[in-house]
Amino acid sequence: MLSTYFLFFAFGIDLNFLDANLLLTIITFTLVLPLPGNSFGAFHVVCTTVLVSIYHLNRELALSYATVSHLLNFVFLVAIGFYYSIKENIKINLKYDKVETT
């Protein structure tokens, strides 16, 4: 929730902590729904729609906010996963052994 709030400052959006909480809550409830296409683009659509409809922000600013927010969350999760894969010494073997049949 703090990342949502601090990202408001980065984009010059004058919203408060409760607004960040509402935005994050609506996005979370929407992403829980079983959407077709593995929810492709659902985060961006919902985030942009909430910022435009409820807070009357510019559509381009709202879409930019949604894209950067999604990117930062994705990078954070990948970084945490990469750290723990190294810490736990997890190896990924992409070589497949061919089984010969006679």
For residue range 46-57, list pLDDT tens digits in order.
999 999 999 999
29 within some domain: yes
87 within some domain: no
88 within some domain: no
Number of domains observed in the structure of the chain: 1
12 within some domain: yes
**30: containing domain:** 2-77
72 within some domain: yes
* Average pLDDT of the chain, as a whole number: 88
pTM, two decimals, is 0.79
CB 47, CB 69: distance < 8 Å: yes
* Beta carbons within 8 Å of 73's beta carbon, 6+ residues apart: 3
At residue 3 the predicted structure's pLDDT band, cuts being 50, 70 and 90, is confident
